[in-house]
Chains A and B, each alone.
Chain A
Amino acid sequence: MAARLHGVFAAAMVVYLLLPLAIAVPLSLTSSEFMTFPPRGLSLRWYEEFFTDAQWTGPTMFSLALAAVAATLATLLGSLAAWPLVRRRFVGRASLAALLGSPIVVPAISVAIGAFLVWAGLRLLGNPVSLVATHVVLTAPFVLLVVGAALLEFDADHIGAARTLGANGPTIARRIVAPQILPSLIAAWLFAFITSLDEVVITSFLLTAGQVPTLAVFIFSQVHWSSSPAIAASSVVLVGIALVIGLGIARLAPLSISGPGMGRPR
C-alpha cells in the first residue's frame, strides 16, 4: 500500500514537472490569433512566423551566437582554471575557488545593478564584449564543477610520462589531457550554452533600447501584453533544445547531473 502510494506520488510529480513543457505544443498548433485551450483549428503558421519573421529570427540568431561564444570561452578559461584548483595546493586556493563558484549563490539582480553602471561607464552597453564577459561569469561555475570532477579522476602518471618524453605544458594539455576528458568538456560546453541562452536578469540591463534583444529577453518582454501563439511555438523550440542538450549531458557526463548546485535556475 505504502509502496503504491509512493508510486502514485512520483507519477504526480512527473506530470507536474512535464505539464508546463508539454502544454506549449497544443497551444502552438492553433490557427487562431490567440492562445486558447482547447485550441481552435490546426496549423503550423506560428512556427512559420517563428522561423521566418525577423522579429523572432533576429533575437534567436543573436542568442545562439552569444551562447556559443560565451560557452566556448567559459569552457576554455574554466578548464584552464579547473586544473590548478583541482590538482594543486597554493596560497589563496580556497578564496579563488569561492570567488569562481559564487555566481551560483549571489543573486543575479545584485550583479545587474553594478554591471549596468560599470559597462555604462565604459560605454560598452549593448556591446558583445559586456554581454560575453557577463555570460562567461555566469556559466563558468558549471564548467568548473563538470571539468573539475573529470580532472580529479585524471591519472597524473600520464603527465609525468609525457613530460619525460619531452612534451611541454600546452602539448600535454592538448594531446594528453583534453582527449581523455573530452566527454566532460562537451558536457560543460552544453551546460554553459543552455545557461547563457536562458539568462535574462542581467542581460536585459546590458541591452540598449533600439537593439535586437536576446530571445529570452524578447519573450520576457512579450509576456505581459502579447498572447500570440508564436510565443508557444518559440517555447516548443526551446524545450526541444533543452531535451537534446539534456540527453547529451546525461550520456556524456551522467554524474554531473546530480552534483550539488548544478543548473541553478536564475
Chain B
Amino acid sequence: MTAVAAPPTKDVGRARGQFVRHPAWLAVPLLIVFVLAFLYPLLRMGEVALLRGDVVDNVTRLIDTPLYVRVLGRTFQIALMVALVTVALAYPLAAFISRRSDRVQALLLVLLFVPMLTSVVVRAYSWVTILRPNGVLDGIANMLGLPPLGGAFFENEAGILIGMVHLMLPFAALPLYAAFRRLDPQLPLAAATLGASPARQWLRIVGPLTLPSALAAFVLVFITTLGFVITPSILGGPRALMLGVLVQRQMALNDFPFAGVLSITLLATTLITLILLRLAVRRFRAVGLL
C-alpha cells in the first residue's frame, strides 16, 4: 500500500457551513432510518447481552451445555456443507449457461432468477410437502411400486441441506455466471491453439480467472447459512437445531441476554469470515489473480 491519497475532487475540504450545498446530505434521510431501525437495534442487542445479563454466566452456559455446543458444531458443519455443495453445483452450472447462445442464456437466467425471488417460506414449505412421510416423494415411490422413504430427508440435516442449497444455488450461480462472461473467450482459444489440453487451459487460464468469484460465493453462502432461521426451522425440526433457530427460541422465551450472547457469537463468526475473505482476496491480487 502506498501513502498516496485518492485524487482530490472539488468537493473535498469544503467549509462545513456549506454542507447543505454538498450532495452528501442526500444520503441523510436514509441514514436516519438506518440509525433508528438497524444500527441502534444492533447496539441495543449488544448492550442487553453484555451489560444487562450476566455475561460470564451466559457464556459459561453456552460452552457447558452439551446441547448448545452440539448446536454450534452442527451449524458450522451444515453451513460448510451447504457452501461446498452449492459452489460445486453452481460453478459448472454457471459455466454451462455462459456458453449458450444469447437467447438460451436469457432463458436460463430467468429460470435461475425466478426461484431466487420466490418466497423463502413458500420454498421451505414446498420441500416439506415433497420430503415428509407420505409426501410427494413417497407418492411417486408408491406409483412406481418402490418402498416409501418415510421422511428419510425430513426433520434432519439432509432436509436442511436440500432446502438450503436450493435457496443458495441461484444466489451463487448468478455472480459466477457474470465471472465466466467477463472471461475473454479468446484466451482459452489461444491456449488451445498453442497446444494446451482442456485440463491445462482450465488450470492456467479459466480457473485462476473464476476462482476468486467462486471463493466469494462460497463465503457469502457460508455466512448466510450460519444465521439462517426459516429453512432450518421448517426442514430441520427439533432434532437438527441450528444457531439462528436457537436464538429465535431464546427470544420467544424472553431470555434476551442469552439470545444476545448467541447472536454476538454468530455476528463475530460472520465478521471473522468476511475479514478472512478480504485477506484471501488481497493475497490473490498480490500474486496477480483477480
A246 to B111, CA, bound (A): 9
Q: Does A106 contact B113, Cβ atoms closer than 8 Å? A: no
Which A residues form the contact surface with B (CB < 8 A)? 6-7, 9-10, 13-14, 16-21, 23-24, 27, 35-38, 77-78, 80-81, 83-85, 87-91, 93, 96, 99-100, 102-103, 105-118, 130, 133-134, 136-137, 140, 194, 197-198, 200-201, 205, 216, 219-220, 223-224, 231-232, 234-235, 238-239, 242-243, 245-247, 249-250, 254, 257-266
Q: 1/0 per position for B3-40, CB-CB distance to A under 8 A?
A: 00010110110000000001111110111011011111
Q: Does B169 contact A118, Cβ atoms closer than 8 Å? A: no
| Interface membership of B45, Cβ < 8 A | yes
Q: Does B33 contact A133, Cβ atoms closer than 8 Å? A: yes
Closest A-B pairs by Cβ, 6 of them: A107-B227, A114-B41, A37-B139, A20-B126, A114-B45, A81-B27
Interface of B is mostly: helix
In the complex, chain A residues whose CB is within 8 Å of the CB of B140: 37
In the complex, chain B residues whose CB is within 8 Å of the CB of A235: 119, 122, 125-126
Contact A89-B9, Cβ < 8 Å, known A107-B267, A223-B234: yes
A17 nearest in chain B by CB position: B115
| Interface membership of B251, Cβ < 8 A | yes
Q: Does B270 contact A105, Cβ atoms closer than 8 Å? A: yes
Q: How far in angstroms is the closest Cβ of chain A from B35?
A: 9
Q: How far in angstroms is the closest Cβ of chain A from B254?
A: 10
Having A99-B31, A102-B38, one finds 4 other A-B pairs with CB under 8 Å, namely A109-B266, A137-B38, A260-B220, A265-B167
In the complex, chain B residues whose CB is within 8 Å of the CB of A262: 174
Which B residues form the contact surface with A (CB < 8 A)? 6, 8-9, 11-12, 22-27, 29-31, 33-34, 36-46, 48, 89, 92-93, 95-97, 106, 108-130, 134-136, 139-140, 143, 166-171, 174-175, 177-178, 181, 213, 216, 220, 223-224, 226-230, 234, 244, 247-248, 251, 256, 259-260, 263, 266-267, 270, 274
A74 to B137, CA, bound (A): 41
Q: Does A266 contact B263, Cβ atoms closer than 8 Å? A: no
In the complex, chain A residues whose CB is within 8 Å of the CB of B226: 107
A133 to B35, CA, bound (A): 10
Q: Does A106 contact B122, Cβ atoms closer than 8 Å? A: no
A194 nearest in chain B by CB position: B117
In the complex, chain B residues whose CB is within 8 Å of the CB of A36: 134, 139
